Amino acid sequence: SWGKKKRTVCMKMEIARATRWMQTMTFAIKEINQRSDLLPQLKLGFHIRDNEGLDAEKAQTTSGLGSNFGCAAVHTTMSPVIIGDAASGVSMALTGLLFYQVSYFASCSCLSDQKEFPTFMRTMPSDAFQISALARLVSYFGWTWVGVIGVESDYAHFAIQHFLQELVQYGVCPAYIHFYPVVLSQQALDELLDVIQVPLGHYRLSLSELQSILREIRHRNVSGLQWIASEAWATAKSLWEEFGDLLKGTLGFGIRRAEVIPGLKEYLTRLRLSDIYESPFLTEFWEETFNCRLNGSLNVHSHGVSYQDRMPCTGKEDLDDIYSAYSDVSQLRVSYNVYKAVYLVAHALQDMSNCLTGHGPLQNGICGNPKNFKPWQLLHYMKHAKFSILGEKVNFDENGDPIAYYDLMNWQKGHDGSLHLVKVGFYDASFSILNIISVSEWLPSASQPAHSVCSESCSPGTRIARRRGEPVCCFDCVTCGEGEVSNETDSLECLRCSEDTWPNEARHLCIPKTIEFLSYHESLGIVLCTVCVLGACISLSILAIFFTHRDTPLVRANNMELSFLLLLFLALCFLIGLFFIGEPSDWLCRIRYPAFGVSFALCISCILSKTVVVLMAFRATLPGSNIMRWFGPNQQRASVLLCTSIQVIICLIWLLISPPYTNHNTGYNAIIIVECAIGSEFGFWCVLGYIGVLACMCFLMAFLARKLPDNFNEAKFITFSMLIFFAVWITFIPVYVSTAGKYTVAVHIFAIVASAFGLLFCIFAPKCYIIILKPEKNCKKNMMHK
């Protein structure tokens, strides 16, 4: 929550701190006045004024600092520069009245606008830096779903708006934004607690509202909250005594701390009763600290005890005997800013003193006169001042803001139950670095940081899918599509794998695709290879049988020479199937298709020649027929060569124009198919088409020879073999087109083998049956009886 840093200086808890700040200023001024190296010719003076109850509306009606602003009367002398105010609202009001000031605690980022607040500087970092640090802290712990609550004020609205803008770049969303009134009524508290009871991660509050809220949280027995403290209360030990059980594990950014300001501790604690009458502020501080009453005091305020009931101060009171925030110098943060503010003024005056006329920073090279200058001249020197103090380099940006450095503090419980403010990290705005050293304790009941997400992170292999109408932190995790991976958590999109890679099962890594082709080592390849070799062996075996029985009437009657050629070419057809098995290469692709086309052209040409010869032989028995002289052995061989040569020419043209080649087909999911691309589809279908033409001619000739004498006629066997041939290849075409990869090759081999077996068994099985099993029928009488 974002609220005013300071409600009033007339609160017991704040009086001690405010008095320490005041005393730090006087200490710094006296220290400078005693130095011989800084402003040796000048002495600094000061007026101390109270701003209790001052707000923007009152400031606009105030004519000057001569007015009584609250708890004490003040002098009317004007000072060239004001060290203050602590509150951003009052600082804006004073700057609006053109007072030149250096604030030590006003952090509103709106004050960085030099057009609206040209006379303002500060040693306190702008809230813009703290907001960036908080956003980085939220992102560091993976909190993406946070609740934001703030007091109903312009300051809070401005800061929260800036905070939400910072959260966007880290993908953090506000689950809700709740503003509560400045005066927390019971109803307002109930509404606030109803909101923050939802466990969303972290809450940022200012000190002034925190006590009321913590009491209500304890009353409701709410636990499990991770508190994120603004610098307003990140180091406020006063809360620990009452709310330590609730605030254990709190994280917060504290402004830069001075390890020690030499001499300050002694200066603060050497106050005695004789000193406090010098200032009404010290009088009030003394009475409140020791709960006593001073004679002649103008203080009429009391906290918990009636002022008139207090015992008179004895003069023996000693600040070393009690604990007070006034004398606690373990966390010199705001006090350090006061110290730096005083030194800023001193160094600006020193730079003014060292200025050489004609080389000054003002218009026309003019230098300011340190003994008689105008406030705007001093402001100019302050904005350009650069100096070192207690080992720290101090300088300012163009907006008059110091470069921010925050300590990340963790509230931890010591062995004695006291609060230990442990530095567990830091944020350096000059490099925008958030460095977490260690965080050893968190919630009272947990050992891990609070869990705060609307949607769990999307793991690698998935991507974020935004939910329509909901904050960007609310999303679904969608698995990457086919061929896509995401190797990061909460990836917004999936990346497509390259053509030769494919996602693994988890879809977070692209792995090489599996190379696929019909191999001799797989079951399908082994079976097809075996069938091809078996078919070739059967063909050669039948050839051997026919050659052994070449003198028998059955062999001689069926055109022995063409039968031998046909069996040899069928064996070749079976062996051609082996060219389709194994990893394809360019030379293998250019051999397999022409070899397939030529081998089947040889087979069908032989069958065609056999059919024509039988048909013409019976036609030649007609009186006066002289046709057989055109179908002698030489003519038969020539016809086979002629028919085959046409196929050879088709294949040569194909090879010359667009030959087959090896293709790595990456168009499939997890595999790369190594295949033979046919090159010219027209050439491939011409080869198949020519084989089909030869088969059709065979079928026609066999049909014409169907009525010839049975014993000499092979027409019915050729007709049946051609029907099988047609059935195989007509079935082959759609199956070949519809299959892919090694199965396309397998289909092609199956068509070759099936059609070759069809020719082999239909034509030669009946003859082998007679030769081997019925040799008595293999005689001339049996062949001629019909």
pLDDT at 69 (0 to 100): 28
Residue of 531, 566, 532, 575 lying closest to 546 (CA atoms):
566
pLDDT at 72 (0 to 100): 29
Counting other chains too, the contacts that 526-533 makes at CB distance below 8 Å and 24 or more residues apart are: 528/577, 528/581, 528/746, 528/749, 528/750, 528/753, 529/578, 529/581, 531/577, 531/753, 532/574, 532/575, 532/577, 532/578, 532/749, 532/753, 533/574, 533/575, 533/578
Give the type of residue at 233: W
Counting other chains too, the contacts that 301-306 makes at CB distance below 8 Å and 24 or more residues apart are: 301/10, 301/71, 303/11, 303/12, 304/12
Task: List the chain residues with pLDDT less than 70.
Answer: 1-13, 51-78, 96, 197-208, 296-308, 357-359, 438-451, 557-558, 614, 616-633, 705-714, 778, 780-786
475 contacts 467 by C-beta, under 8 angstroms: yes
Give the type of residue at 583: E
pLDDT at 686 (0 to 100): 92
Report the distance separating Cα 777 and Cα 786, nearest Å: 13
Q: Around Cβ 107, how many Cβ atoms within 10 Å?
A: 28
**Backbone conformation region of residue 83, classed left if phi is above 0, alpha if psi is from -120 to 50, else beta:** beta
Q: Which contiguous run of DSSP H or E holds residue 252?
A: strand 251-255
Give the type of residue at 53: G
Q: What is the tens place of the pLDDT at every residue in 312-326? A: 888 888 888 888 889
Report the distance separating Cα 578 and Cα 573, nearest Å: 10
pLDDT at 628 (0 to 100): 52
Global pTM exceeds 0.85: no
pLDDT at 8 (0 to 100): 34
Report the distance separating Cα 686 and Cα 696, nearest Å: 15
pLDDT at 782 (0 to 100): 63
pLDDT at 299 (0 to 100): 63
Cβ neighbourhood burial of 445 (10 Å; 0-12, 13-18, 19+): exposed
pLDDT at 595 (0 to 100): 92
Q: What are phi and psi of 212, to 5 degrees?
A: -65, -40
Q: What is the tens place of the pLDDT at every residue in 351-385? A: 988 887 666 777 777 888 888 888 888 888 899 99
Q: Which contiguous run of DSSP H or E holds residue 154?
A: helix 154-168
Domains, the chain, with CATH or none? 12-126+259-394 (3.40.50.2300), 462-512 (no CATH), 523-622+630-784 (1.20.1070.10)
Whole-number CA gyration radius for the chain: 52
